[in-house]
Structure 1
């Protein structure tokens, strides 16, 4: 599970003592993959989002802040990491205080990712208690679509204010 947002690094150490939970800041997605592989806990919670560069590039694309091609490069790098097994998509994303995020970032979490797999993106207050509560009641639901190539390569058509609206591309 990835905890994403302001305050994640402070929250993770408070979760590590919970039953069946191994929580630690991971630094990067490859460190997170090693953490997951080495743990025997039912839940491994970290802050290393394997799609962080894709999210930043998607927001930069629609906010017109990044040069042309940045999104495509980030998507291909993420797909290579997923294919090679150096990174993996988390079972869940817990997004801390999404209402406080800039509009495009909020659309990334609650529009794009939640649209791809609705039960895998969970908003929560930025507190250890709120994240622990989420851990105690994780919803079941479909996994990320496999292979991820189609939905990741289609991100340039996932317009922020239109994501999830019937009839939108």
Structure 2
């Protein structure tokens, strides 16, 4: 899949779907809830996006995030993280998935510790300007969109970074605010 002309933003967190829905009325923002589109239609929509921002809740790293958190919480069978990583790498290579330009993470302070370390440690440590915490309100996410800054992109190709996740310990992962 080619990079779209829009800035892709994933809203992540417990209230992501509700917040994405509330952003659709903003000028220059196309808000898309993943539950409203089959995966193939969502991929097509992302590829053809032409608004300034395309905001959605379909995190391409969701399976890796869950597997990483479960790995360190000892809640997953051996190998689950590795399978999630390899599936995600394949999806990124073939265009079935596309990393967003930014993640806006709503209410990370209310997340379980390991999940919070994923967002504000692992991902923020990998590309600091690309992960933005925000309160779980439409106006707060709108304000975050207006102040997104440039910064280091995700490692490309992501293979080495993703395959090394099992060695990134939650309490030592990146810059937790």
- TM > 0.5 fold call: yes
Q: Which of 157, 169, 173 matches 1:163?
A: 173
Shift in Å at residue 13 of structure 1? Answer: 1.8
Q: Give the superposed CA RMSD.
A: 1.4
1:138/1:26 CA distance change after superposition, 3 Å: same
Aligned to 2:52: 42
SS in 2 for 1:10: helix
Relative distance call for 1:82 and 1:52 in structure 2 (3 A) is same
For structure 2, the residue ranges without an aligned partner over 5 or more in a row are 1-8
The total of aligned residue pairs comes to 165
| 8 Å contact kept, 1:29–1:50 | no
SS at match of 2:75: coil
2:132 pairs, out of 107, 115, 122, with 122
Matched, 1:18 2:26: yes
Distance change (3 Å), C-alpha of 1:31 and 1:92: farther
Q: What does the per-residue CA deviation read over 1:45-64, in whole Å, with 9 as the maximum and x for residues that have no partner?
A: 00000000000000010000
TM-score by length of 1: 0.93
Q: Following TM superposition, by how much is the alpha carbon of 1:10 offset from its aligned partner in structure 2, in angstroms?
A: 1.1
* 2:118 aligned to which of 92, 102, 108: 108
1:2 aligns with 2:13: no
Change (3 A) 1:100 1:29: farther
Q: 1:93 aligns with which of 91, 96, 103?
A: 103
Instruction: For 1:120 and 1:157, locate their aligned partners in 2 and report how far apart those are by CA, in whole Å.
Output: 22
- Give the whole-Å Cα distance in 2 for the aligned partners of 1:104 and 1:46: 23
Unpaired runs of 5+ residues, structure 1, are none
Q: Deviations over 1:57-83 (max 9, x none)?
A: 000100001000000000000000000
Which residue is equivalent to 1:79? 89
Q: Are 1:29 and 1:87, in contact at CA under 8 Å, matched by a contact in 2?
A: no
Partner of 2:5: none
TM-score, normalised to structure 2, is 0.89
